[in-house]
Amino acid sequence: MQRITSKENELIKQIKKLKDKKYRDISNEYMIEGIKLVAEAIHEEAPIKYIVLCDDCEKNEAIPKDLMYEIAKYDCIYVTEKIFKYLSEVQSPQGILAVLKKNSQTQDIDYSQDIIVALDDVQDPGNLGTILRTVDSVGLTQILVSKGTADIYNPKVVRSTMGAIFRVKIIECEDLEKVLKEIKKHKFKIVVSSLQTDNTIYDIDYNKKVIIIGNEANGVEEKIQVMADEKIKIPMLGKTESLNASVATGIILYEYVRKKINANK
């Protein structure tokens, strides 16, 4: 355990740099913040490098004692309130953050799952984090993300996942089109959303399918649309023509859940 009182400390400078994608990539580390996220990371045995605590945390009993017992098993760094606020990403920090090593799992795709979700240049961090959380909620353990998708380790993405980032393997694809061609060799079919079809999410089966979620503004790019085996749309009764990417993902994935539950009755 060590106590740091200066913003000029090298370790503090390194943690501060983790707000930038460039440094996250160089260091292969990222930061999480808040009681719930740190507790989830400990529970899931995520690769925590060290935990940073505000000096006043123990005094105001913000962090539960049972969690403090688990935290004590890790390399802990105590900092002043001023330094913690300097490092924090939120307006009302809870006095705890941690630095983790990035996902070190194999990038091999698991072909045993019913469906695979692939993101084609999804840009909004909130959407990305919510999609990851939804993927986790339906029992999927992996997700493909294109090179142009927002950084999965962006602090806002990490917060939005609510801990799902520790359970879902993120497979980053340098060339999503090439990866999808390889997946098709394993008898998976590519499914994209499109207004140019009469098929809805209720008209297809969800077995050996790759569900492509497109960019918020432009949808699924043309070259991947051409690869699609099936096109679907979400039927809407109102005047709205499109839905938020994370909302659309949730609707599609829970149709998969509905059909899976009915099949097992």
Which has more pLDDT, 169 or 194?
Answer: 169
Backbone angles phi, psi at 213, to 5 degrees: -105, 120
Please give the biggest Cα pair distance in the chain: 63
Please determine, for residue 158, whether its predicted confidence score (pLDDT) is greater than 90.
yes
Instruction: Give 223-245 pLDDT, tens digit per residue.
Output: 999 999 999 999 988 988 778 89
Tokens describing residue 163: 């801990």
CATH 3.30.1330.30 range(s) for the chain read 2-101
For residue 37, the SS3 value is helix
From first CA to last CA, the distance across the chain in angstroms is 54
Q: What is the pLDDT confidence band of residue 263, given thresholds at 50, 70 and 90?
A: confident
For 42-67, write each residue's pLDDT tens digit. Answer: 999 999 999 999 987 655 567 888 99
Q: Is the pLDDT of residue 217 over 90?
A: no
Residue 224 confidence (pLDDT): 93
Give the pLDDT mean for 139-149. Answer: 95
Rounded CA separation 245/127 (Å): 6
DSSP letters, 92-152, are S--SEEEEEEPP-S-----TTSSEEEEESS---HHHHHHHHHHHHHTT--EEEEETTSPPT
Which band of pLDDT confidence, cut at 50, 70 and 90, is reported for residue 92? confident
pLDDT at 105: 64
Contacts of 22 (CB under 8 A, 6+ apart): none
| 74 Cβ contact partners less than 8 Å away, ≥ 6 residues apart | 42, 48, 50, 51, 98
Residue 248 pLDDT > 90, yes or no?
A: yes
More confidently predicted of 145 and 218: 145
Q: How confident is the model at residue 97 (pLDDT cuts 50, 70, 90)?
A: very high
- With cut-offs at 50, 70 and 90, classify the pLDDT of residue 107: confident
C-alpha to C-alpha distance for 225 and 191, rounded to whole angstroms: 9
Give the pLDDT band (50/70/90) at residue 20.
very high
Task: Report the share of the chain in percent with pLDDT over 90.
Answer: 80
Q: For 149-161, what is the mean pLDDT?
A: 93
User: Average of pLDDT values for 6-10?
Assistant: 93
Query: What would the mean pLDDT of 173-180 be, rounded to a whole number?
Result: 95
CATH ID of 2-101, from 3.30.1330.30, 3.30.70.580, 3.30.200.20, 3.40.50.720: 3.30.1330.30
Q: Indicate the angle between helix axes 125-137 and 245-263, nearest 10 degrees.
A: 10
pLDDT at 90: 84
The strand pair at 48-54 and 96-101 is best described as antiparallel
Q: Is 25 helix (H, G, I), strand (E, B) or coil?
A: helix
Distance, in Å, from the CA atom of 133 to the CA atom of 130, rounded to the nearest integer, reads: 5
Element (H, E) at 160: helix 155-161
Positions of CATH 3.40.1280.10 in the chain: 115-263
Question: Rounded mean pLDDT of 95-109?
Answer: 86
Report the candidate in 100, 104, 35, 102 with the shortest Cα–Cα distance to residue 74.
100
Return d(Cα 124, Cα 128) in angstroms, integer.
6
Contact 12, 4 (CB under 8 A): yes
Check residue 265 and give its pLDDT. 80
Q: What is the CATH number of domain 115-263?
A: 3.40.1280.10
Query: pTM (2 decimals)?
Result: 0.89
Higher pLDDT, 90 or 69: 69
